[in-house]
Structure 1
Amino acid sequence: MTHSLTTAKWTLEQYHQMIVAGILDGQPVELLNGEIVEMPPEGEPHAFYSHDVAKYIEHLLGEDRVTVRQGKPITIPSSNSEPEPDIAVVQPLGREYLRHHPYPENIFWIIEFSDSSLRKDLEPKAKIYATAGIPEYWVVNLQARALVVMRDPVNGNYQSRITLTEGTIYPLAFPDASIAVRRLLD
């Protein structure tokens, strides 16, 4: 007789109850598809680039147009997910975020900086974000010094996926904002 392994799935409400109760204190985790997943520690390049690029985007677009959240949760109710992307460029709703983390409809685009988490960022996270309808998702591959740009979410997958190492990119939500790809990679 063989036994299959069953993983317990958690709801957003249960996950929030664990946070309030202090069960997850000190543990770098995020909720992905109902599973509590450990986040690898940030190395120096990861921490540097995510902070530097967040400041750059905030300066480029202005605080009146966006809020740039670094390593803070976003809530995706449809998949019981509450990932903590390196950068989430969201609507500037101010104190509204005291009541809830940004929902997919509040998110312009997401950026992840990937070294050891590359597989997780390119596969399950991309699927979660596409299923939620987040229009644009960028993954900065720190190993290859390349930017993976995913756009046009349809049926849980991004229809457009290109890899850039140079040139200029214009975020879908801000076609007037010119971002040099090398600025994200160097």
Structure 2
Amino acid sequence: MTRPALAYHWSQSEFVRAWEAGAFDRRVELVEGEIWPVVIGSWHGDTVGQLLAMLPRSGVRVTTSTLPTGESLPDPDCWVRRADADPVGSVGSRLSIWAAADVLLVIEVSDDTTIQDLNVKAKLYGRAGYPAYWVVTQEAIYEHTGPISTGYRTRVEYRRGERIPIPYVDVDLAVDDMVAHHDA
């Protein structure tokens, strides 16, 4: 009888020490004790750029920094927080922790990671209490709202040709304007 190999579960402090020491040879994130590679292709990068250019900025800060969430250190593609918010703590010497009420929108642009973003990360961000989470794919934006301990109560799909409301202002934007066109 063979025994399954034990997977190593990284703590937040172990990950930060390794990251600050330059132990990783590529961009990675810590998700529920696992180290996930962060891969950014052309469509992904173009879409993040479009989102950063389009998201309304009045009274908020739009950032691409790591967002400490529970014991994880996910690296969302961008997220929005209140401009007047102050961090409620820190992880290591360079990462700020924010109150869930100050994090207005978290966005993952999803090319090769759609299943993980719609499931694992939705649970992670919902459990943290972030009020709105988007997964942006080449075909649609999936908006998650109503955070609960197991994820989100509601997921609505906005397809190309439709408009999506921006959760922190009284504005909606065209999905086509926020999602880069895929070049074959």
Q: TM-score range by the shorter chain?
A: 0.7 to 0.9
Equivalence for 1:16: 16
Q: Distance in 2 between matches of 1:112 and 1:54?
A: 12
Determine if the alignment matches structure 1 residue 28 to structure 2 residue 27. Answer: yes
SS of the equivalent of 2:96 reads coil
8 Å contact kept, 1:73–1:83? yes
Determine if the alignment matches structure 1 residue 120 to structure 2 residue 116. Answer: yes
Question: Which letter does structure 2 place at the counterpart of 1:91?
Answer: R
**Where does the alignment leave 5 or more consecutive residues of structure 2 unmatched?**
none
Identify the match of residue 182 of structure 1 among 169, 176, 180: 176
The structural deviation recorded for 1:92 is 2.3
Q: Over aligned residues, Cα RMSD in angstroms?
A: 2.1
Counting strand residues as a fraction of each chain, which structure ranks higher? 2
**Where does the alignment leave 5 or more consecutive residues of structure 1 unmatched?**
none
Report matched runs for 1:116-155 at 5 Å: 116-142=112-138, 145-155=139-149
With the length of structure 1 as denominator, give the TM-score of the two structures: 0.83
**CA-to-aligned-CA distance 1:129-163 (integer Å, 9 cap, x gap):** 11111111111111xx2111111111222111111
Equivalence for 2:5: 5
8 Å contact kept, 1:61–1:177? no
Identical aligned residues as a percent: 26
Identify the match of residue 84 of structure 1 among 64, 75, 86: 75
Identify the match of residue 101 of structure 1 among 77, 96, 112: 96
Question: Which letter does structure 2 place at the counterpart of 1:131?
Answer: R
Question: Which letter does structure 1 place at the counterpart of 2:156?
Answer: I
Q: Distance in 1 between matches of 2:113 and 2:41?
A: 11
SS of the equivalent of 2:23 reads coil
Identify the match of residue 50 of structure 2 among 49, 52, 75: 52
Q: Distance in 2 between matches of 1:185 and 1:110?
A: 16
Q: Distance in 1 between matches of 2:23 and 2:85?
A: 29
CA spacing shift, 1:32–1:104, aligned 2, 3 Å? farther
8 Å contact kept, 1:75–1:104? no
SS of the equivalent of 1:178 reads strand
8 Å contact kept, 1:90–1:102? no
Q: Which runs of 4+ in 1 moved over 3 A?
A: 93-100
